[in-house]
Amino acid sequence: MGLTVGDRAPDFCLPDTQGNLVKLADFKGKRVVLYFYPRDNTPGCTKEACGFRDAYEQYQTQDIVLLGISADDANSHEKFVTKYNLPFPLLCDEGGKVAETYESYGLKKFMGKEFLGVIRNTFVISPDGTIEKIYRKVKPEFHAAQVLADLA
């Protein structure tokens, strides 16, 4: 079956880089862009995060909350945030349970090897808590601009 546009977005509670718990419910009444990415400091994930960073002010002017989620730990996230001056929270989904709930964790292939990991998907959650738009297996380079243009 799977998540589709119009479904209630699954709630979650995850720590940020400082150990503060962040819940989706905290953003009720706001539009949220929730992007899942495989790993800090890898080429594609860096392009995607920097794209969101570069467009962050435009997201802010539209009152859109931006949250990144991967299975990396707080220490890895903190280094990634610092290195690339990311102005939005990265949340730690160690074990990938929230990613799994959002159908963003599963079997992947890279260089002939199969493994389980976070799949690069993005969900736009409307102010009423329903899924407004889903981007599956996105291309990282221009993704932030594409989402922003779609939400304008």
CATH assignment at residue 141:
3.40.30.10
Taken in order 48, 50, 55, 60, the sign of the CA dihedral is: positive
Both tokens assigned to 144: 């932030």
pTM of the model: 0.94
Residue ranges making up the domain that contains 130:
30-151
Domain count, the chain: 1
pLDDT level of residue 143 (50, 70, 90 thresholds):
very high
- Residue positions annotated with a catalytic role: 45
What pLDDT, in 10s, does the model give residues 82-105?
A: 999 999 999 999 999 999 999 999
Q: What is the mean pLDDT of residues 122-143?
A: 95
Domain annotation covers residue 18: no
